[in-house]
A and B are shown apart, each in its own frame.
Chain A
Amino acid sequence: METLSYQTFKSQTQSQKTSVVIQEDDTAETFSSQEPLTKQPKILIIIPAYNEEKNIGSVLEDIQKQSLGFPILVINDGSSDNTEKIALEHNAEVISLPYNSGYGVALQTGFLYAVKNNFSIVVQMDSDGQHDPENIKDLLEEIQKENCDVVIGSRFLSAASYKTSLARHAGMWLFGSIASLICGQKVTDPTSGFQALKGRAIQFAASDNYPPDYPDADFIILMNRCGFKIKEVPVTMHASPEKESMHHGHKTIYYVFKMFLSIFVTLLRKSPKR
C-alpha cells in the first residue's frame, strides 16, 4: 500500500469543507512509529484554554483559515470568562472542566478524548496566539513519516528570533541541555506546547505516566526512555500577548524544582511499557 504523503493527504482534506464536527470514522486506526500511515489519518487539534476570551476567537479563525478540515477541540479549563462561548461560536468542540485544573490536566483531557474517539494524530497548541497555525502542516508532514511518534515545534530552530526574558531563556537552555544529554539527541525547545503526537504516543500521554502540571522536559525524557521517536521542526512563535506566562512569580521556583525532581525520579524509575 502506498504511504500517504502530506500532499495527498492535504488534497484529500481540502476537498472536505472546513468543518469542526467530529469525524465519525470508525475505520481510523492508531499507528505506531513502526508502521507508516497507509489510511487517511484521523486528526484532532487540541487547545487548552483558561480565560482566553481575548485570544481564542482569533486563534480558531487563524486555524480555520488554513482550511485543514480537522476537528478542533478546545479544553476550557474552568474559565470564568467567555472562553467557552466564543469557542462554540467559532464551531469548535468544547470540553469544559468544572474548575481550573492546570495546563497539563486540560491537555491530557484532550488526549483522553482523542484515544476515546480513535484519533490517530493529535496536534496540541496554545490558546494565546503564541503559535502560528501555518506551522500545523509542518508538524503533520513530519509526524506522518516513519519512525516518528512525537514532533515538537521548536522556536529556536526557526530563523525568526523569539523574544523572552533572560531568566526564561536560561531555563529553556538548561532543561533543553539536560534533555539533550539524557535523550542522546538535540532537544532545543523542551517547553514548547506546539506538538504533534501519533498513535501509541497519544495513548501514552493519556495514561498515568503524563505529568499533570507542567509536561515539559521530563515528559520528553520519559517518552525517549520508552522508545518513542521524537523530532523537532522549526516553528514561528510570537511572544504571548496580554497574559503573563504560566511560569511566572513564585511558580517559576516551583517549576524549576519540580522539573529537576521529575527528571531525577524519571531516571530512577523503570521505564513504563509503551
Chain B
Amino acid sequence: MPPRIQIISILICVFLVAYVFELVRRKHLSEEYSMGWLITGTLMLILSVSEGALKWVSGLVGATLFTSTLFFFGLLFLMIICLHFSIRISALTKQVRILTQHVGILDHEKKVLEKKINQPPWQTGTSRLEQI
C-alpha cells in the first residue's frame, strides 16, 4: 500500500475512534450506538497499520489492491450500520405511533373528565366530590 494512503487511512481511523470516545464522553452518543463505530474504527486501524494483516485479508476476499480491501470493508460496515439504523428507526416509529395514539386518547379522556367536573352539581345530580 502506498505510504501516503496508509498515513491518511491511519489518521482517519485514529480521528474516528477518538471522536466517538469524545461523543460518548459528552453524552452525545450512547454506548449502544458507539460500539459499531469503535469496533469498525479499530479494525480499520489494524488493517491500515499492519500490512501483513491487510495482505492476509486481501487474499481472503480476493482483492488485488490493498486499498480496495479497505474500501470494501468500509462499504460493508456502512451497509450494516444503515440496515441497523433502519431497524431502529422502524422500532422507534412504532413506539412513537403507539405513544401518539395513547396521548390522543388520554387527552380526550382528560377533557371529558374536566367537562364533567366543571358541570354544576344540579346538572349531573351528584356532588363534585362524588364525581371525582
Contact = CB atoms under 8 A, between A and B. Distances in A.
Interface of A: 22, 75, 93-99, 101, 105, 108-109, 112-113, 116, 212
Interface string B36-71: 000000000000000000000000000000000000
B97 A95 contact: no
Contact of A101 (B97, B105, B108): B97
B114 to A, nearest CB: 14
B107 A99 contact: no
B105 A98 contact: no
A254 to B, nearest CB: 15
Interface of A is mostly: mixed
A97 B108 contact: no
Nearest to A104: B97
26 contacts: A75-B104, A94-B108, A95-B105, A95-B107, A95-B108, A96-B107, A97-B100, A97-B101, A97-B103, A97-B104, A98-B103, A98-B104, A99-B100, A101-B97, A101-B100, A101-B101, A105-B97, A109-B101, A109-B104, A109-B105, A112-B101, A112-B102, A112-B105, A113-B105, A116-B105, A212-B94
Nearest to A112: B101
Contacts, number: 37
Interface residues of B, number: 11
B108 A105 contact: no
A96 B104 contact: yes
Contacts of A75: 104
